[in-house]
Amino acid sequence: MRLALLILALLVGTAGAAPTEVRRPAPKTRVAQAPTPVERVSANVARAEAARGRLVADRSKLQRRYEAELAEIDQLKRQKASWRRDRALRGKLASSLETARALAALSDKLKRADVDVVRARAAAVIVIDQALVTAKGPTRADLERRRRAWAPPPPPPKKIIIPDEALDPLADPEELDQRAAELRDVEAELAREVGRLEQQANRYDRMAELRRQHDRAAELAVRDESDPRRIGTTARGGAFESATAADGAGAPPSDSEDSPGLSDPSADTRDYATALSDVVDPSTVDALRRAERSTDPSARAAAARRAREAVNQRLATMRKKRAAIESRARELRAQ
């Protein structure tokens, strides 16, 4: 009898119990992807340009207000003198003075905003130059478009003029000294050009090496994806865990530490073909022109190195002719 009552109580308790709630797993939240360096500097440029745009709009509005006040003052001055006119004129003059002060303060803010825009664009060009080392396809075209929009305009090309190197047998010592001084100045300028061309050639050599490394890494990454994944087991705490081998072959190389100088925004803006048109032979000038239109850093490095050798040869010839002119001046003084 007791056993039957116990079974009946269990059945009644089970029937009255609330059904258990099935908990669904919480939806996974998406992790926000960190912006790339190019996106960060682009946002900085956009903020600086927006701030400058607001100041320009405020200045235009204030300028129209100031011109309207000046027009009202001129109109009051043309009226017949009276107590009412003088009071209105004094009020308009005070108001225009306050507007002029506000306009001057706004102009100062606008100058600082211009500096901020220039700095933001310069920093963006540096980051874009680093990204262009390995960029390809539409990404590279977009980066080049941004660089053209934000890079400062290149300085006008300055052509190196070579003075007359011929030895004039009828010239007096003073004329020869003047000719030698002119040649000495041009020699110093050509020596600087040799150094710039050497730096440019080394820079493009590093860019070409980085591009080869990146292409090789991408090729290895594609090859590894077609191969079976290697799974290894490692013992940790008495239990075995499976680990997948990952070598990171597809990651693009970084140029910030191994290749200094790639971030120089003014490295490609100098027009060497125009500057050296009277110094080197026409074929070297044509090679420089073709290299300027090329996107291959190896071709640009070869053209820069060829121009450097040509400038070196012209520099050596000029030094010999200058030495002959100085020697002739000394002979004339000794007579």
| Secondary structure (DSSP) of 293-318 | H---HHHHHHHHHHHHHHHHHHHHHH
Nearest to 184 by CA among 307, 311, 318: 318
Query: pLDDT of 145-187, one tens digit each?
Result: 998 889 887 667 778 888 888 888 888 888 888 988 999 999 9
The whole-angstrom separation of Cα 269 and Cα 274 is 12
Backbone angles phi, psi at 233, to 5 degrees: -120, 135
| DSSP 3-state of 241 | strand
Provide the pLDDT for residue 52: 94
Tokens 């010839």, located at residue: 317
Cβ neighbours around 210 below 10 Å, total: 21
Query: pLDDT of 275-328, one tens digit each?
Result: 888 888 999 989 988 988 888 888 899 999 999 999 999 999 999 999 999 888
Burial class (CB in 10 A: 0-12, 13-18, 19+), 71: exposed
The whole-angstrom separation of Cα 187 and Cα 184 is 5
Give the containing element (helix H, strand E) for 234.
strand 231-236
pLDDT band at residue 6 under the 50/70/90 scheme: low
Domain range summary for the chain, segments of one domain joined by +: 36-153, 155-223+271-335
Provide the pLDDT for residue 35: 83
Question: Which of 111-120, 134-143, 148-157, 220-229 shows the lowest per-residue confidence on average (mean pLDDT)?
Answer: 220-229
Longest dimension (CA), the chain: 152
Provide the pLDDT for residue 172: 87
Burial class (CB in 10 A: 0-12, 13-18, 19+), 59: middle
Give yes or no for a contact between 230 and 237, defined as CB atoms under 8 angstroms apart. no
Is pTM, for the whole model, over 0.85? no
Give yes or no for a contact between 145 and 101, defined as CB atoms under 8 angstroms apart. no
Tokens 């125009």, located at residue: 274
Nearest to 327 by CA among 179, 182, 186, 185: 179
* Segment 101-110 mean pLDDT: 92
Residue 138: what residue type?
A: P
Give yes or no for a contact between 51 and 113, defined as CB atoms under 8 angstroms apart. yes
Element counts in the chain: helices (H) and strands (E): 8, 2
| DSSP 3-state of 28 | coil
* Range among 134-148, 248-262, 314-328 rated most confident: 314-328
Burial class (CB in 10 A: 0-12, 13-18, 19+), 311: buried
Give yes or no for a contact between 42 and 145, defined as CB atoms under 8 angstroms apart. no
Q: In the chain, what is the straight-line distance between the N-terminal and C-terminal CA atoms, in Å? A: 152
Give yes or no for a contact between 284 and 169, defined as CB atoms under 8 angstroms apart. no
Give yes or no for a contact between 69 and 90, defined as CB atoms under 8 angstroms apart. no
Provide the pLDDT for residue 295: 82
